[in-house]
Structure 1
Amino acid sequence: MDLHESSIVIAGGGSTYTPEIILMLLDNLHRFPIRQIKLYDNDPDRQKIVADACEIIVREHAPHIAFLATTDPETAFTDVDFCMAHIRSGKYEMRDRDEKIPLKYGLVGQETCGVGGIAYGLRSIPDVIQLIDYMEKWSPNCWMLNYSNPAAIVAEAVRAARPHSKVLNICDMPIDIMERMAKICGFDSRKDLVVRYYGLNHFGWWSDVRDQDGSDLMPKLKAYVAENGYNLEPLGCEPRMNDEDWRHTYRFARELYATDPSVLPTTYFKYYLYPDHVVADTDPTYTRVDMVKDIREKEVFSECERIAACGTSEGTTLKIGVHASFIVDLACAIAFNTHERMLLIVENQGSIPNLPETAMVEIPCIVGSNGPEPLRIGPIPWFQKGLIEQQLAVEKLVVEAFFERSYQKLWQAFILSKTMKDADVAKAVLDDLIEANKDYWPELN
């Protein structure tokens, strides 16, 4: 039986992650055939660097696939089955402010957590909604696989503003950690694991991990994490050996695990449970965005420029990314009704009965052509429930503040953040961020 060939638009075509996605798509044509790939970005110069290289890669590996890069939304979104969206509203210039302005006040400066994440979220909401509207206007049967950050705030805004849209909100961080879990347990892939997981995006816990035969892997994982965190250096297979910042983050999972040894945490809890440690360990003049620009962006863009200049991708250093593999799995599940079990950000609707039904929770779902069917998690413990409800209130207040143009609600969201010191500091950093984002945020009343 011939499989349907899909047409895809990658929104955020100028991202350094776009080549990874292209390579993953080409590597999986046997199970996810493609007839057309489009890149869409509102920055033509940045996109051209990536597109020129990707066009060569596609031509060399699958010349039958039509390839196009455009800045015109109608061209991009006409005749597409999937929109893979990974936009960065404000680009690195605004990420720099998200990270450095909070640090001036002794607060966590991070692109998805704390007040920096809120700032990024307020910029992302209108741009993601605009992409949804483009998609529904020109390809109403299209599915959006959205992994634009901060995923929790974006997912809540989409729930509120476009509740019937065909949007699946996803994140690669649990996937990355599950790949690490697989290696710790001696397996080749995260697909060898069956997990139970719950929380919000960048704010969750694994309550059960088993192999495909049902054997409990939690004791082995807990023993390893208690000593090493999720760092794989002791096993000799740490893929981030050139990135001490990430290796520290993985090691720090030891401290996070100690807060509740009955479960395994995501790494982002260091920003919420140990904010003073994070601030003390951060250089306020050289943050994560500087590392990304100095290393990843330079490496990817220089390689793309080399490919374009040579006219061939032979010998390329570009690699398939972990998060890209998850996107292909999800697209296959939708296109071919595979009923794969995957972690997605979905409306709770009773899956966790002691959390609000409208909470956008990250939990396992069975995915088919009709979208996700969330699994029931059941009631969760007080420690996790309390942390989730506080963070959930932050996210809902941010989204309400955006749509109501409410200064008061946004200030309240800042106050409630577990990374915040007190209400006066919240007001001061809010006013600073309002000025920094005057070209992106709505005017607040």
Structure 2
Amino acid sequence: MKRYNIVLVGGGSTWTPGLLQSLTKKKEEFPLARLVMYDINAKRQEVIGEFAKILFREKYPELDFEYTTDEEVAFKDVDFVFCQMRTGGYEMREKDEKIPLSLGAIGQETCGAGGFAYGMRSIRDMIELINNVRKYSPEAWILNYTNPAAIVAEAVNRAFPEDKRILNICDQPVNLLRSYGRLLGMDPYEFEPIYFGLNHFGWFTHLYDKDGNDLVPKIKEIVKERGFKPADAEQRDQSWLDTYAIVEDMLKDFPDYLPNTYLQYYYYPEYKLKKLNPDYTRANEVMNGREKRVFEECRRIAKMGTTEGSAVVHNDAHGDMIVEVAESIAHNRNKIYIIITENNGLVANVQDDAMVEVAATLGANGPRPMGVGKIGTFYKGMMEQQMAYEKLTVDAYFEGSYNKALQALTLNRTIVDAKKARKILDALIEANKEYWPELK
């Protein structure tokens, strides 16, 4: 069996240890010859890199591994690029969340004004990354987790319209599938999902088991009776438990389909705004929680020289999904995953150039997405408003247009008021001078 060369972009991420362990679990199904971790933050990556050396010495001794800040070392002759960048780090994430909150709007990492700010930062680095990868590895598959995935996918599709080896994905649908499996006491790998929407903005219409039975009605009943928890609830922070719990409310109000948890910000913006603490946001929770746990554990392992008894991984879905996607492509498995792709009739009554999120089989020739036909007026209206916001955000970036940025934020359901949108935009421009193009 062929052994693959991969590079992991964002080696200093708190999600990296879990992804590395996913690679060790899959070494028989998806064997590697070489793995390189790449990050522009050498100090941060070093902590994870030293953990990785010990992990691979114990569990993958045949693997050629290194971590680097050198682009040529990272990208030369690779088969797959796993990308999970965070431009601006947690410092800018905190601003993304707190600036909108200070001005009376939701502050969230990928939704609303926070997602707008993060998206405007991510576009530049993602385009630069793809150009660098193509310089050294023209045929590599680029599997992109970089958030906010909807805005990044729209921008990348415009910048590289002919590049068919870029795949934008998100692990939240997989987290939901695993959570449905926990709810039902079933193996989520046996599920066949039907899904439509935009990234962090979609719905499961059907969820079939291996015998062809639709499990959606049963899931709705169980959620109504017992509520909803993530598959890894015991390892989640309180904010994530709250995020899953509100699915029960969403199903009461809009019972047609199973919602992506992020829809809470768009269904209930006033309610969510009142629940958010402007002085202590999710960014603070992560920095004081997962961030500290992961880096302290990696340092402990490096000092002890063994991973025995390690508790460094807190979300297997993130790492497992991207590795399984690569395996499905490499070995032409044609397994079903939920991916982001150009619409082209998949959602029949939504414009063709929308970057939609749907189920697809994945093989050596890339995704074969599954259409869902026409959708109802409510869901079409929700999607089209959000899609317009995403497209205007990308317009604002490429055109350097203040007006397009203002239009985008005014359309976003977490803001809707143009005067508020202008205040938020001006504050975000000031905070992002080092990262955004000049908006005129």
TM-score scaled by length of structure 1:
0.96
Map 1:237-276; keep pairs closer than 5 Å. 239-240=233-234, 243-276=237-270
CA–CA distance in 2 between the matches of 1:220 and 1:211? 12
Partner SS, residue 376 of structure 1? coil
| Equivalent position amino acid for 1:437 in 2 | N
Q: By how many angstroms is 1:242 displaced?
A: 5.3
Aligned partner of 1:6 in structure 2 is 4
CA–CA distance in 2 between the matches of 1:411 and 1:304? 43
| Equivalent position amino acid for 1:19 in 2 | P
Are residue 403 (structure 1) and residue 403 (structure 2) matched?
no
CA–CA distance in 2 between the matches of 1:344 and 1:278? 27
| Equivalent position amino acid for 1:186 in 2 | G
Are residue 177 (structure 1) and residue 168 (structure 2) matched?
no
Are residue 295 (structure 1) and residue 289 (structure 2) matched?
yes
CA–CA distance in 1 between the matches of 2:181 and 2:233? 14
Distance change (3 Å), C-alpha of 1:173 and 1:129: same
Q: CA RMSD in A?
A: 1.2
Contact 2:347–2:375 (8 Å) recurs in 1: yes
Describe the superposition over 1:392-428 as per-residue Cα deviations: whole angstroms up to 9, x where unpaired: 0000000011000000000000100001141111001
| Equivalent position amino acid for 1:388 in 2 | M
CA–CA distance in 2 between the matches of 1:430 and 1:279? 18
Aligned partner of 1:325 in structure 2 is 320
User: Bigger shift: 279-288 or 250-259?
Assistant: 250-259
Describe the superposition over 1:243-280 as per-residue Cα deviations: whole angstroms up to 9, x where unpaired: 22111111111111123212111111111111111111
| Equivalent position amino acid for 1:347 in 2 | E
Q: How many residues align?
A: 438
CA–CA distance in 2 between the matches of 1:386 and 1:226? 26
Aligned partner of 2:382 in structure 1 is 387
Partner SS, residue 40 of structure 2? coil
Map 1:304-315; keep pairs closer than 5 Å. 304-315=298-309
Contact 1:182–1:192 (8 Å) recurs in 2: no
Contact 1:240–1:247 (8 Å) recurs in 2: no
Aligned partner of 1:92 in structure 2 is 90
Partner SS, residue 205 of structure 2? strand
Q: Which residue among 406, 428, 433 is the counterpart of 1:433?
A: 428
Q: By how many angstroms is 1:230 displaced?
A: 2.4
Q: By how many angstroms is 1:229 displaced?
A: 4.0
| Equivalent position amino acid for 1:54 in 2 | A
Partner SS, residue 268 of structure 1? helix
Aligned partner of 1:168 in structure 2 is 167
Q: By how many angstroms is 1:225 displaced?
A: 2.3
Contact 2:106–2:273 (8 Å) recurs in 1: yes
Q: By how many angstroms is 1:241 displaced?
A: 5.7
| Equivalent position amino acid for 1:220 in 2 | K
CA–CA distance in 1 between the matches of 2:114 and 2:234? 25
Aligned partner of 2:335 in structure 1 is 340
Aligned partner of 1:63 in structure 2 is 61
Gaps of at least 5 residues in structure 1 are: none
Partner SS, residue 213 of structure 1? coil
| Equivalent position amino acid for 1:201 in 2 | N
CA–CA distance in 1 between the matches of 2:339 and 2:166? 11
CA–CA distance in 2 between the matches of 1:190 and 1:167? 26
User: Bigger shift: 409-418 or 327-336?
Assistant: 327-336
Contact 2:168–2:341 (8 Å) recurs in 1: yes
Contact 2:233–2:241 (8 Å) recurs in 1: no
Contact 1:227–1:254 (8 Å) recurs in 2: no
CA–CA distance in 2 between the matches of 1:125 and 1:311? 39
CA–CA distance in 1 between the matches of 2:162 and 2:228? 38
Contact 2:97–2:281 (8 Å) recurs in 1: yes
Describe the superposition over 1:297-339 as per-residue Cα deviations: whole angstroms up to 9, x where unpaired: 1000001111111222222112362121111111011111111
| Equivalent position amino acid for 1:225 in 2 | V
Describe the superposition over 1:113-159 as per-residue Cα deviations: whole angstroms up to 9, x where unpaired: 00110000000001111111111110111001100100000000001
Q: Which residue among 331, 345, 352 is the counterpart of 2:347?
A: 352
Percent identity reads: 45
TM-score scaled by length of structure 2:
0.98
CA–CA distance in 2 between the matches of 1:39 and 1:287? 29
Aligned partner of 1:284 in structure 2 is 278
CA–CA distance in 2 between the matches of 1:238 and 1:325? 14
CA–CA distance in 2 between the matches of 1:390 and 1:349? 18
| Equivalent position amino acid for 2:274 in 1 | A
CA–CA distance in 1 between the matches of 2:16 and 2:55? 12
Gaps of at least 5 residues in structure 2 are: none
Q: By how many angstroms is 1:240 displaced?
A: 3.6
Aligned partner of 2:194 in structure 1 is 196
Contact 1:395–1:413 (8 Å) recurs in 2: yes
CA–CA distance in 1 between the matches of 2:219 and 2:25? 31
